Structure formats: C-alpha cells, structure tokens
Amino acid sequence: MLSADPCIGEVLLSDEQIQARVREIGEQLTIEYAGRAPLMVCVLRGAYSFLTDLSRSIDLPVEIDFIAVSSYGSSTRTSGVVRLVKDLDVDLTGRDVILIEDIVDTGLTLRYLRRSLEARGPNSLEVCTLLARESADLEGLGVKYVGFTIPGDFVIGYGLDVDERYRNLRYLASYEPQDDA
C-alpha cells in the first residue's frame, strides 16, 4: 500500500491546510480578475492537482490549457536544462494569462516559461505557484501568488513526484529515500 511506503516522510502540509490556502488564493484571483476571463496555463505534470482545485475555487469564466517542460529527468536534482515537452494549444495574444506552477526552486523552469509565454503577446502574465523555496528570488522572478514557502528538502505529494510516483497523495510530505530502495 502507498500509505505504508517508508519513503513517505513527515507530513509538511495536510490536505486541509492545502485546501484552505487554495480556496484563499481562488477568492483573491476572483476579485483581482473580476470582469475578465483569465487563461490558466498549467505546467505539467506537477501542477495538475493545484490547477484542478484552484480552478474550482475561482468564480469566473476561466479557460485552461497545459504546457509541459522537463528539467529533472528521473532524479531529484535539476539537469540544468529545460526542454519543452508539450506546447499550448491556445493562442495567447491579448489574453490574461495565469501560469500555474507546483514549486519554484531554482527558478530555471520559470525563467524559461516566462520568456516563452511573454513572446506570444499576452495582455498580462502572472505566476501562481503552490510552493516556493525560501531561497527562491520571487521578486526577481515576478511571482505574484504563492501558496506556501518551504525549506530546501525534497517534497512529494499533491502532484509532486519522484520518478512519477507519489503524485496522488492528498498531502505534501518530505521524501525519505531508503538506502536499499
């Protein structure tokens, strides 16, 4: 059973804590984007849970599209190179775009995405991330909406993975690699 997996460490954010914060951000976006129909761009795959819950907390006619990038390969360390794996289907010209991220760590992924999306002529582009490392330069990266700030340890759950596992946990936990795993 997944719940008995020893790699799942301490619960850092419970289901309830996450849902309460996601609702708050949804209410804030509902106010700040009133009268508009923002396009939520979900960065696959890690942000899918956040996108799902957040979009349902926004009382506006939002649209949704997906983009996929890869920078981690199959390890818990960044490769330092960002690669576009799946591009958007929707034209961004004149749109109010909200980029939905799972976690801003070094900011490499975000810098790449921002450059790519800004070049497509949106009316506005804001970044909304569930998590940000304490070390991340959020101001420099132009991140407006942040769910939680966390320390440097690798985390899993609520969309975040190690080798594609643990995304389906409802909570966020620390990752405890086992020597014999």
Check binding of 109 to ligand IMP (CB under 6 A).
yes
Select from 71, 114, 149, 171 the one that contacts ligand IMP (CB under 6 A).
71
Neighbour count for residue 174 (Cβ, 10 Å): 17
Catalytic (active site) residue 105? yes
Size of residue set near ligand IMP by CB under 6 A: 17
The site map against ligand IMP for 137-156 (x = CB under 6 A) is -----------------xx-
Beta bridge partner(s), residue 11: 173
Which residue is catalytic, options 105, 137, 163, 180? Answer: 105
Name the residue among 57, 90, 56, 87 with its Cα closest to residue 70.
87
* Residues composing the chain: 181
**Could you tell me the smallest distance in angstroms from the CB atom of residue 174 to ligand IMP?**
9
Interacting span for ligand IMP (CB under 6 A) from 18-26, 28-36, 71-79, 85-93: 71-79
Find the shortest distance in angstroms from Cβ 35 to ligand IMP. 31
Q: Which residue in the set 108, 114, 116, 171 belongs to the binding site for ligand IMP (CB under 6 A)?
A: 108
Minimal distance, residue 103 CB to ligand IMP, in Å? 5
Please, which of residues 18-57 interact with ligand IMP by CB under 6 A?
46
- Say if CB 133 and CB 146 are below 8 A apart: no
DSSP state string for 130-158 = EEEETTS-HHHHTEEEEEEEE-SS-EEBT
Q: Which of residues 87-106 bind ligand IMP (CB under 6 A)?
A: 101-106
Inter-CA distances, 175 with 19, 49, 115, 152, 154, Å: 21, 18, 31, 12, 6
Helical (H) or strand (E) element with 99: strand 96-104
Kindly state whether residue 171 participates in binding ligand IMP, applying the rule CB under 6 A.
no
Helix (H, G, I), strand (E, B) or coil at 74: coil
What amino acid positions are annotated as catalytic residues?
105
Residues making contact with ligand IMP (CB under 6 A):
46, 71-72, 78, 101-110, 154-155, 160
